[in-house]
Amino acid sequence: MAMANHPEVLVVGAGPVGLFTALNLAQRDIRIEIIDREWRTGAHSYALALHAKSLELLEGVGLRDEILRRAYRVCRIGLYEGAQRRAEIQLADSPDQPSALAVLRQDAFEGLLESALRRRGVRVRWNHELEQATPREDGVEATVRRLEKQSVGYAVARTEWVVAETRHIQPRYVVGADGHRSTVRRAMGAGFEPAGRPQTYAVFEFQTDADFQHEMRLMMGPHTTDVVWPLPDGHCRFSFQLEEAVPDTGRSKERLAVEIGRSSFAELTEEQLKSLLAQRAPWFDASVGPIRWRIVVCFEPRLTSCYGQGRMWLAGDAAHTTGPAGMQSMNVGLSEGMQLAGLVAGVLRHNQSPDGLAGYAHQRLDQWRRLLGLTGGLRPDAHADAW
């Protein structure tokens, strides 16, 4: 299986975690292939804040300074109940301190990672999907399909994705960073169990003259938690938790839905934004300019039953999903990707024991059980304010 035309590691998924994992493998001179069924990096995506620990990891691949040049720094979290500011959490004394969060759109972050990979001679194979993967003792038999759009229909022309080419490859390892619908996870036979109640959010991203003073804000209601993130280009993103899901768009899909990649989401109106701002963020008195994103998204906390075994391993949203407030899934996923790359490279290049991979799986499962509140976690004591 060490043939030169086969990758040593196949990375499935070219989101932030997959790209970062691939970059760490390439740094260690591992022969890789990275594929994604989409045709480019995400133009609309949810993750946008990098924690201080993630910035340290990105310094290791030479990207921290460029990210900070493009990012909006957040050094405080403000907690609001209606118009009243209840508390704040200080992350840093100034935007220049290392502990400040770095906020930038996920597509910009992915573009930097992809460019760094290209400089190492690795190109993402967009429009490629993993059809199946069968683990063997010394590697994985994988089938990869290249997709392309084809015009179909006679009376009404339309396009659809078809399989243009099928390849069979034999990597030594497969890393699944292919999101919550992970093909790799399904090939492993791992579960993806709910770890909390689904949360539906109305997400709006728009231009504004608001001065957030390097602060993101959480708005606490009787039954909802909303969040606003300032963005680096005079925009901001509000995510309002909805107590009831928005009805299915049905036959009006072309008018009431927006396509992101190959997924469809209910589209909202400017009137709904202004109504939610008045109800949930009465302190917001700045302008509402052009809206570039206004959709309903459901976030369902889930956790895999198994991070991997043998030759197939998971990282990022393929293993866990959370809500939009803390950006935990992506940030912890970056740490997982770096750790996984180091362990796999150790086996392939330094004859290290693969037992470290089993340790990775146990460690990360324990971590996520705590983060999702399945074991332990923060709880209010008797002196906590009711809000």
pTM for this prediction = 0.90
**Could you tell me the two tokens for 238?**
């509000």
User: What pLDDT, on the 0 to 100 scale, is given for residue 227?
Assistant: 96
**Could you tell me the two tokens for 268?**
């909202």
Measure Cα distances from 114 to 28, 62, 260, 310 in Å: 17, 13, 20, 28
- Residues comprising the chain, all counted: 387
User: What pLDDT, on the 0 to 100 scale, is given for residue 375?
Assistant: 86
**Cα–Cα distance between 278 and 5 in angstroms, integer?**
59
Please report the domains of the chain, with CATH numbers, ordered by start residue: 9-48+106-195+301-372 (3.50.50.60), 75-101+197-299 (3.30.9.10)
User: What pLDDT, on the 0 to 100 scale, is given for residue 266?
Assistant: 75
Q: What is the DSSP letter of 101?
A: E
What one-letter code names the amino acid at 381? D
Exposure b/e, 118-140, CB count within 10 A at least 16 = b: eeeebebbbbbbbeebebeeebb
What is the CB neighbour count within 10 angstroms for residue 186? 17
User: What pLDDT, on the 0 to 100 scale, is given for residue 158?
Assistant: 63
User: What pLDDT, on the 0 to 100 scale, is given for residue 256?
Assistant: 42
Measure Cα distances from 344 to 19, 26, 192, 274, 354 in Å: 16, 12, 24, 50, 8
Of 181, 94, 189, 97, residue with least CA distance to 135: 189
**Strand 291-299 vs strand 199-207: parallel, antiparallel, or unpaired?**
antiparallel
Note down pLDDT in tens along the chain; length 387 residues: 445 578 999 999 999 999 999 999 999 999 999 999 998 766 446 678 999 999 999 999 999 999 999 999 999 999 999 999 999 999 999 999 999 999 998 889 999 999 999 999 999 999 999 999 999 999 999 999 999 987 665 555 566 889 999 999 999 999 999 999 999 999 999 999 999 999 999 999 999 999 999 999 999 999 999 999 999 989 999 999 998 655 444 323 333 444 444 455 578 999 999 999 999 999 999 999 999 989 999 999 999 999 999 999 999 999 999 988 888 999 999 999 999 999 999 999 999 999 999 999 999 999 999 999 998 766 666 666 766
**Strand 192-194 vs strand 302-304: parallel, antiparallel, or unpaired?**
antiparallel
User: What pLDDT, on the 0 to 100 scale, is given for residue 253?
Assistant: 30
Measured between alpha carbons, how far apart are the two ends of the chain, in Å? 59
**Cα–Cα distance between 102 and 106 in angstroms, integer?**
11
User: What pLDDT, on the 0 to 100 scale, is given for residue 160?
Assistant: 81
Of 213, 142, 131, 134, residue with least CA distance to 171: 142
- The angle, 0 to 180 degrees and rounded to 10, between the axes of the packed helices 106-119 and 16-27 is 20
Contact (CB, 8 A) for 205 and 290: no
User: What pLDDT, on the 0 to 100 scale, is given for residue 260?
Assistant: 42
